[in-house]
Each structure stands twice: as C-alpha cells, then as structure tokens.
Structure 1
Amino acid sequence: MRISRTARVALGCLTAAGLAIVYVPLLLVLLNSVNTDRSFGWPPSGLTGRWWRAALHSEGARQALLTSLKAGFAATAIALVLGTLAAYAVHRHRFFGRRTVSFLLVLPIALPGIVSGIALNAAFRTVLDPIGIGFGLFTVVVGHATFCVVIVFNNIGARLRRIAPSLAEASADLGARPWQTFRYVTFPAMRSALFAGGLLAFALSFDEIVVTTFTAGPGTRTLPIWIYENLARPHQAPVVNVVAALLILASVVPVYIAQRLSSDTAGGRL
C-alpha cells in the first residue's frame, strides 16, 4: 500500500512521540542513578558513581534481589511444566471443552492485577491458613505461577500450530513411540519457544508488584516491593534509581533474546 508523504511524516512523528513517552523516563532513571544531587535536580549538578557503590553494599537490596530470583525461578519452572503440558494437550488433542480450557488458561493474564491479588489472598487465607501455611515465598511463587503459565502456554501453543502434524505422523510410521516422537521431533522444534516463554515468564515474575503485595508475608520483600517502599525515603532515593537502572539494563538482554526466539520461523533455530 502506498501512502502520501504527509501521512508518512505524520506516522513518523506519532511513532517518535510514542517511543519518547516510553523511553525518555527510562533514560532519566539511568541519568539519575549517576546524579550527584539527591533530589534529582535538573539539569544534573554533576555525575558520580557513589550511588552505585551504595547500592552494591545495601543489605536490603541484596536480600530483595535474592527473594525475587528465588520466586522468579520457581514460578518459571512451574509455568514451564504446566504451560507446556496444557499447550500440548490443547493443540495436539481433541476433547470436550477444549476451547473452554484454553480460555480459562489465558484468563488470568487479562484480569487486573489487583483482582487476581485479592482473589489469591482470599484463597490462601481460606485454604492454607487452616493447615498452618502462612504467607511467604511459597504463596508468592504460587501467585506468580498463575500468570506465568499463560506466557508459556501462549508461546508453546503458537509454536505447536506452526509444526506440521505430518512430522509426528511420519515419525509414528517409522516405528517411533509417542515419547520418542516427542523427544526427537516435537521437542527440538518447540525448544526455542520454550526458552523464550521461560525468559518472558521470569521477567514478568521478577517485575510483578501488585499480586506480590497481596501474597507476600510481612518478611517477604521482592525487589519491586523494596523499590516501592524506599522510593519515598530521601536518603534511599538515589540507591533506588541505581537498582531501577540495573533492572532496566538486565531486562534488555532476556527480552531481546525472547523476541528473537519467538519470531523465529525456521523451526526453532536462532
């Protein structure tokens, strides 16, 4: 489709404005992490690396980071298992209620975080409290897994739709058992989608704050919660910017890899 020069200029301006809205605040966070002024004055009065040294020696930030890593890896592991099995069942088998199951699996990611948080909080109080399991890392992992499963399910489902069923049929005709077909044919073809889904699920879990607020115990602080609690403290604000800057930098690589793997059309090769 051919568009006029005016339309191209207008679309370019709108695109630039949209990107500026997203990325200018991120650049400001990076700049404030080396700003000598505690109050984030503009323009910066100078550049310094002392806030980065302070962040590295912050015990609270290190503990929060460790908690976030534990929750993220555990939730991702659960999501990889359940999401892969669910996607394989929905997209490789025909059974009554298949579309309903698919809808119910995707629904958690569409619900507002505060609704999911309240629902999980009530469910944990009703089910876990009577058996002596309180709020803590376990409840955070379960809460995160509810929406991480959706990411893996969607990634694996999209890849399975692109894998020709004739490949599995040919494998069976050659005498391979179902497990052998999955191991040597299906799994290699969807391996990159599995890896991409795991990366995105971990990133989503690592950044989650709303559901975490409702499912974490008093002594359980993930990194987003630590940032939120310390942002209003004048002496911690520069350190918070450093932690936020590290999260921005650390998110670029996995998101880029996941995007490359998800857009791969060569059967799972990077």
Structure 2
Amino acid sequence: MLRLSLASKIVLGAIVAVILAFMYVPLMLVVLNSFNAARIVSWPVAEFSLEWWGKAFTSQPIKDAILNSLLVAAGATLIALILGTLVAFALQRYSFFGQRAVNLLVVLPIALPGIVTGVALNNTYNQILEPIGINVGFFGMIIAHGTFCIVMVFNNVLARLRRLNPGIEEASKDLGATPWQTFRLVTFPQFRSAFIAGGILAFALSFDEVYVTIFTAPPGVDTLPLWIMNQMARPNEANVVNVVATVVILASFIPVWVSQRLSRDVAERD
C-alpha cells in the first residue's frame, strides 16, 4: 500500500481544498444572493430578504420555462432510452457490414459542437421540411435534443452488455422461457442500472442544453436555460435568476444521489 509523507498529505489536501473552493464558492454566492434584498447582485450581502423567492414562485414565465424544459428533457430521454438501447443491443449481439461506421455515427453527435448541430437542424427544419408542409414545432426541439442524448444511454448500456454472462440467457432459454421472458426476467435486470443511469445523464444533458435549443426552439418558446440567458441581460432581475439557479442546484442532488446508489448496487453485485 502506498504511504504518503506528512508533507505530501498537506500539499494534496491544500490542492483539493483549492479545487473544491473554486467549484463550490461560486455556487454559494448564487445561493446567498438569492436572499439578497438589493435589486442587483452585490457582495457582501447587506440585507437578506425572501422577496425574490416570492417573485420567482409566482412568475408565470418561469413556470412555463421549467415546464418546457421538463417536457423536452423527458421526450429526449424517452427517445434516447429506446433508440440507445436498441442500437447497443444491435452492435453488441450481432456482426454486420458497417458495424464500426454505425458505432461512430451514433457517438458523433456528442462530439460535435452544439452550435454546429443547432445550425444543421435549423437549416433542415426551415429549408427542407417547412417548404414541403412539415412544421416540426416543439417536437423538433425534442428530436434535436434526442440526437445527442442517445449517446448517454448507448454508452452505458453497451458497456454493461459487454460484461454480461451469455450463459445465463442460454440457461433461461433451455428451461423453456420465451425470448420476452428471458429479456424481462434475466437480461433487463442485469443492465437495468446502466439503463437508468444513462437515462439520468440524458435528462440532465437535455435540461441544460442551450446552443441546440437556440436554433431549434419555436418562436416564443423558452426553456429554462434560455430564460436564464435572456434575464442575465437585465441586471434588476439577476436575483430572481439566482433563486431559480438555487432551486436547480438543490434539485441536482437527486440524480447525483440516485447515480451513486446505482453505482454502489452494481459494485456490490459484481
């Protein structure tokens, strides 16, 4: 076992403390300014107030933006769960011509800059689909998010499938189980944690996406990231943005906790 000297421990501890401070002090400033009585963001906070929390929770534009973000993220996650899992099974279970090319094409959207994806889809919607009478509208934004969310599910499920023992499925078939019974009772439970983790990652990735959303959102439709970006140009509304950001920070603990539980369960099972 590697043993560190006292000096090494102090140095490493200091580095870790600086990194954590760099990551979390700005978040704490956001939380504190959400209770700032001043109309503009300031430091130190001279007086605390719940005024901005009241305005945020009664603001219809914020409610609409949150609902839009949830709907888009849920739709994109559903697309990712279905298509990502199917592609993962196809690439892991079968050999066919162009297999590597399919793998590359599935992963490519996450490597492309979001602005490139957004411009490409915007051109497709406006210059190809609309002239022939197809107006994708809100659904087009969901499809756009789904293109890069698929990768999250695909990578997680594929990695898990490669670690499965095929003998268990063969035993299930030998005992008379139908293909659906084998999948439901044997196969799916073995990659369920990866499936859920991929869905959580896909949802989070879609929920805070900005660049693709800018180019594919229908006129007058704001998701939460777009609403925040627009409000940042209005300094008098900055503390309302801090309230929304604080709620998002607190809500983020839920998927993090779920992911840790899933990872722990997988480790214990392996």
- TM category, shorter: over 0.9
Aligned amino acid, residue 204 of structure 1: L
- Map of 2:22 onto structure 1: 21
The offset of 1:11, in angstroms, is 2.5
Aligned amino acid, residue 66 of structure 2: L
Query: How far apart, CA to CA, are the structure 1 residues paired with 2:35 and 2:100?
Result: 51
Query: How far apart, CA to CA, are the structure 1 residues paired with 2:203 and 2:256?
Result: 10
How many percent of aligned residue pairs carry the same amino acid?
54
Residues 1:131 and 2:102 are matched in the alignment: no
Moved more, 36-45 or 58-67: 36-45
Moved more, 77-86 or 231-240: 231-240
Aligned amino acid, residue 201 of structure 1: A
Moved more, 17-26 or 257-266: 257-266
| Correspondence 1:146-225 to 2 at 5 A | 146-225=147-226
Aligned amino acid, residue 16 of structure 2: T
Q: Pick closer, same or farther for the CA change 1:267–1:121 going to 2, 3 Å.
A: farther
The offset of 1:176, in angstroms, is 2.3
Q: Pick closer, same or farther for the CA change 1:123–1:165 going to 2, 3 Å.
A: same
- Structure 2 unaligned spans of 5+: none
The offset of 1:267, in angstroms, is 4.5
Q: Pick closer, same or farther for the CA change 1:267–1:86 going to 2, 3 Å.
A: farther
Aligned amino acid, residue 35 of structure 1: N
Q: Pick closer, same or farther for the CA change 1:114–1:259 going to 2, 3 Å.
A: farther
| 1:188-223 deviation line (CA, Å, top 9, x unaligned) | 112222222112211111111111011112211101
CA RMSD, 1 decimal? 1.8
- Map of 1:10 onto structure 2: 11
- Structure 1 unaligned spans of 5+: none
| Correspondence 1:34-183 to 2 at 5 A | 34-134=35-135, 136-183=137-184
The offset of 1:134, in angstroms, is 3.8
| 1:153-205 deviation line (CA, Å, top 9, x unaligned) | 11111221222111112212222232221111001112222222112211111
Moved more, 29-38 or 189-198: 189-198
- TM-score scaled by length of structure 1: 0.92
Secondary structure (helix, strand or coil) at the match of 1:162 reads coil
